[in-house]
Amino acid sequence: MDRKKMLKQQFKETSVEAGIYQIVNTINHKVLVGSTLNLKTLNGIKFMLETNAYTTNKELQNDWNQYGKDAFKFEILEKLKKKDDPYFNEKEALLSLEEKWLEKLQPYGERGYNKKQS
């Protein structure tokens, strides 16, 4: 099997993990807390920021443009533990986990890029 096929196969076999992440600006210490059903998508977020295409949070994109990619670090805060319960709702569980981290870190205003939900 050639290397390209092997890498594709490895990618397909890698389990999809949901979780909570943060993007930290190491200059002004602002934080964005987010969640995803697939932590692999963090590479996509980095790519969008690097190409000035991250429309989800303009303030974060502006700071990325101002300070550059080396001023930011991506961290996984917690991976969602899946349950074998047939009634387990991954989206709801992820939302609940994200709310816990938002409450804990309070990444609003001067402290972060998140907006309070009213």
Q: Is residue 46 a part of any domain in this protein? A: yes
Q: Is residue 111 a part of any domain in this protein? A: no
Domain residue limits at 81: 16-106
How many CB atoms neighbour CB 98 within 10 A? Answer: 21
Q: Is residue 113 a part of any domain in this protein? A: no
Q: Is residue 71 a part of any domain in this protein? A: yes
Would residue 68 be called left, alpha or beta, if left means φ above 0 and alpha means ψ between -120 and 50 degrees?
left
Band (12; pLDDT cuts 50, 70, 90): low
pLDDT tens per residue, range 27-85: 999 999 999 999 999 999 999 999 999 999 999 999 999 999 999 999 999 999 887 78
Q: Is residue 1 a part of any domain in this protein? A: no
Start-to-end CA span in the chain (Å): 54
82-90 long-range contacts, CB within 8 A, separation 24+: 90/18, 90/37
pLDDT tens per residue, range 103-118: 999 999 999 999 987 6
CATH number reported for the structural domain that contains residue 98 in this entry: 3.40.1440.10
Angle at 118 between CA 18 and CA 91, to 5 degrees: 20
Q: Is residue 29 a part of any domain in this protein? A: yes
How many domains, the chain? 1
Which residues are within 8 A (CB) of 38 and not within 5 positions of it... i.e. 6 or more apart? 16, 17, 18
